[in-house]
Amino acid sequence: MDVKKRSSDPATQEMLKRMADSGQENAWDRLEAQEPQCGFGQLGICCRVCNMGPCRIDPFGEGPERGVCGADVDTIIARNFLRAAAAGASAHSDHGRGVVHTFIAMAKGEAPDYAIKDRTKLLALAREWGIKTDGRKDTEIAAELGELALAEFGKSYGTQRMAERAPGPRKALWKKLGLTPRAVDREVVEALHRSTMGVDQDYKSIIHHASRCSLADGWGGSMIATELQDIMFGTPYPKHGEMNLGVFKEDQVNLVVHGHEPLLSEMIAAASALPELVAEARAAGASGLNVAGICCTANELLVRHGIPVAGNFLQQELAVATGAVDVMCVDLQCIMQGLTEVVKCFHTKLITTSEKARLPNVEHVQMEEARALEVGKAIVRKAIEAFKNRGPVHIPKDKGEAVVGFSHEAINYMLGGRFRASYRPLNDNIMNGRIRGVVGVVGCTNPKVTHDEGHTRLVKELIKRDILVVMTGCAQIACGKVGLMAPEAAALAGPGLREVCETVGIPPVLAVGSCVDNSRILVACTEMVREGGLGEDIADLPVAGACLEHITEKAIAIGQYFVASGALVVFHEKLFPVMPGTAVHQYLTDGIAAEMGGKWAVESDPVKAAELIHAHIEKKRDALGINKERERKLFDMEDRQKLKV
Ligand code: XCC
Ligand code: SF4
């Protein structure tokens, strides 16, 4: 086993060796046992949509070219792509719906442990949605807002309210193409319908719906999740954070919260700060209570409260293998069933909390919004109990220091100051060329590629080229671990970006939040357009998105909504589930740009991906006419030498 090939993160390498030595299995081992994986599946050319199949297309053009029903390679790939986008959109959006239910309960006084923490945001959103605010109680406004938000998931008519936020030309384009997203549930149901046997069999039409369904996620379910979570739990502002397995404390009760929804983990965090529970932990022989997160539940708590992050997706089993985790409390999404095996080797208590996400033979403590803090306290007490049974621990020392919590509002404030909060300084610095552009690097960590390496190398290459990076998800954790979100990382940036970072006091890589918080990036892009000087639409901006380690269907939905919003999106070539050389591949990576301004690109090498993104950004800058000065300067040594010959 070559641990360096498995991961570029020293803490992960250390734990991989330890797990191998003690015969404990993890995702990398199980991947090895699967190899070689099905090549048809990887290329998206296997269809199991009906029972005349499964059918597969021969990629070498020697075998079957069509499924039993006659579906060709492009139809099969596009249908699989659409189903992935729909599943991804449903995951983010069902999370959003859960938040709305709690929000309404809070407003009606049925969830007493929740409150309105960001009143400014509540009122702003209420006004945006035409809700009367004058002379009304906050809870009354919130109740009405909650009902309207809930309708976004299942209303019979109309389109997503949040999509109204997009720049004018983008909205007009969506309208012209019939892409303005309708109710989230409708788009997901229609995606499943269209992709059944014998319905939509024109790949462009199928991808078209993948766009609309994904837009219902980004400008719908995800954005609603982000906004209402901010109202209830606070909008993120810059704060200190720490990331990696080194955040576990040997002498404290370590409670890991893992998954995606902050509804319960917020309560667990609050419970862990209660003096009575701290006293109970002390009585059990611990010096305190340490809550740490994994995956996007971690990102939610990190950006709002600076609660430490123990690791990203691939580190969940390794966290248990430290022996230092007393309770691993999971909500939903990205919870590996493999956890049920690894906890058997340790004292760690695994607890499920969502009725939607159960594990066999695992204790279930149902999250209940009416008594959420009580549930949180009960889980903390279970961790204190488990601490007493703790065996030997092995905690890697590594952890990265970071400044995190750059919501759209925080960026506005950092750049413009309290009284003239605006994106003007950002736009100005992009226009004068100190910052070339902005790139969102997001998404998962996949054992098929070296863990963390795609993200960290790409981000280093981007900031070196004076490109500001904004991050979410497990990619954010990967870069936080290596210190790229510390202000000192400005030293790794190009001279222009460095100057801006040092003047404003921001790191060159901004931690924005969880995967539903990619909606914050959509809002930030819109704000850049509104501020002026960088074109009329997101497609005009010198921006892009990238994910070189994607795993989940959610990443496909995110990628597609960025494409349909006008951005270039780069994925790892081998992880993109679309066979190269097909018409649908050609369409997604080229033809679609003529319709939507955005498109996909595939690249496995982080340096080449950075070059590709940089070239794209310069092209956008040229089109905006903000590159004139630079062109003159670009007469470098090489050009001079050419002249002499
Ligand atoms: Fe899951 Fe969001 Fe992917 Fe990480 S990044 S592996 S989705 S936790 Ni969203
Ligand atoms: Fe095969 Fe067509 Fe059925 Fe897919 S839908 S399994 S290609 S027969």
Above 70 in pLDDT, residue 7? Answer: yes
Strands 309-311 and 467-472: unpaired
Task: Check if the beta carbon of residue 193 is closer than 8 Å to that of residue 199.
Answer: yes
Q: 3-state secondary structure string, 303-349?
A: HHHCCCEEECHHHHHHHHHCCCCCEEEECCCCCCCCHHHHHHHCCCE
Q: What mean pLDDT do residues 191-199 have?
A: 98
The average pLDDT across 389-408 equals 97
Q: How far is the CA of 56 from the centre of ligand 2 (A)?
A: 9
Mean pLDDT of 138-150: 98
Q: How far out from the chain centre does Cα 248 lie?
A: 24
pLDDT tops 70 at residue 81: yes
Please list the residues that pair with 467 across neighbouring strands.
437
Percent of the chain with pLDDT over 90: 94
Q: What is the pLDDT of residue 421?
A: 77
CA 68 to ligand 2 centroid distance, Å:
6
Question: Cα of 44 to ligand 2 centre, how many Å?
Answer: 13
Query: Does the pLDDT value for residue 634 go beyond 60?
Result: no
- Indicate if ligand 2 lies below 6 Å from the C-beta of 197: yes
Q: How far apart are CA 225 and CA 12, in angstroms?
A: 31
- The Å distance, Cα 444 to ligand 1 centre, comes to 5
Residue type, 432: N
Q: Does residue 395 carry a pLDDT above 50?
A: yes
Q: Taking all residues of the chain, what is their mean pLDDT, rounded to a whole number?
A: 96
pLDDT of 275: 98
| Contact residues for 544 (Cβ-Cβ < 8 A; gap 6+) | 437, 439, 440, 567, 568, 569, 570, 613, 616, 617
Contact predicate 11/23, CB 8 Å: no
C-alpha pair distances (Å), 579 with each of 211, 214, 550, 586: 19, 21, 17, 10
Give distance in angstroms: CA of 296 to centre of ligand 1: 6
pTM for this one?
A: 0.96
Least-confidence region, from 16-30, 40-54, 311-325, 400-414: 400-414
> What is the rounded average pLDDT of the residues 21-49?
97
Cα gap 19→345, rounded to integer Å: 11
Average pLDDT over residues 624-636: 67
Q: Give nearest CA residue, ligand 2 atom 7.
A: 67
Is 632 a residue whose pLDDT tops 50?
no
Q: How far apart are CA 552 and CA 85, in angstroms?
A: 10
Whether the CB of 378 sits within 6 Å of ligand 2: no
Mutate to test the pocket of ligand 2, among 40, 49, 51, 73 (most ligand atoms within 8 A of CB): 49
Which of 40, 45, 46, 52 to mutate for ligand 2's pocket (most ligand atoms within 8 Å of CB)?
A: 52
Among 46, 55, 73, the mutation site with the greatest number of ligand 2 atoms within 8 A of its Cβ is: 55
* DSSP helix/strand/coil, 238: coil
- Other C-beta atoms lying within 10 Å of the C-beta of residue 371: 15
Residues in contact with ligand 1 by the CB-under-6-Å rule are 260, 295-296, 312-313, 334, 443-444, 473-474, 515, 551-552, 554
The tens digit of pLDDT for each residue in 204-246 reads: 999 999 999 999 999 999 999 999 999 999 999 999 999 999 9
Res 641 pLDDT > 80: no
Measured between alpha carbons, how far is 620 from 629 in angstroms, rounded to an integer?
15
Give yes or no for residue 636 having a pLDDT over 80. Answer: no
Angle between helices 408-416 and 424-431 in degrees, nearest 10:
80
* 230 close to 149: Cβ distance less than 8 angstroms: no
pLDDT at 413: 86
Q: Is the beta carbon of 53 within 6 A of some atom in ligand 2?
A: yes
CA distances in angstroms from 282 to 155, 249, 251, 285, 632, listed in the order given: 51, 14, 10, 5, 67
Ligand 1, atom 3: nearest CA belongs to which residue? 444
Q: What are phi and psi of 363, to 5 degrees?
A: -60, 135
From the alpha carbon of 473, which atom of ligand 1 is closest? 5
* Whole-number pLDDT of residue 319: 98
Task: Output the pLDDT for position 314.
Answer: 98
Residue 105 has pLDDT above 50, yes or no: yes
Task: Check residues 389 and 641 and name the one with the higher pLDDT.
Answer: 389
Per-residue confidence band for 630, with pLDDT thresholds at 50, 70 and 90: low
pLDDT in tens, 413-467: 887 766 677 899 999 999 999 999 999 999 999 999 999 999 999 999 999 999 9
* Average of per-residue pLDDT across 387-405: 98
Q: Which atom of ligand 2 is nearest to the CA of 67?
A: 7
For the CA of 554, the nearest atom of ligand 1: 7
User: What pLDDT sits at residue 412?
Assistant: 87
Alpha helices in 195-289 (DSSP H): 203-216, 222-233, 262-272, 275-283
Which of ligand 2's atoms lies nearest the C-alpha of 198? 5
Distance from the CA of 631 to the center of ligand 1, in angstroms?
A: 40
Average pLDDT over residues 525-543: 97
Check whether 631 has a pLDDT greater than 60. no
Identify the residue with better confidence: 645 or 378: 378
What share of the chain has pLDDT > 70, as a percent? 97
pLDDT at 170: 98
Q: Is pLDDT above 80 for 252? A: yes
Does pLDDT of 640 surpass 60?
Answer: no
pLDDT tens per residue, range 317-358: 999 999 999 999 999 999 999 999 999 999 999 999 999 999
pLDDT at 243: 98
Strand partners, 547: 571
Per-residue pLDDT, 637: 58
Distance 87 CA to ligand 2 centre (A): 20
Query: Residue 255: enclosing H or E segment and its boundaries?
Result: strand 253-259
Structure confidence at residue 645 (pLDDT): 42
H or E element at residue 623 = helix 606-624
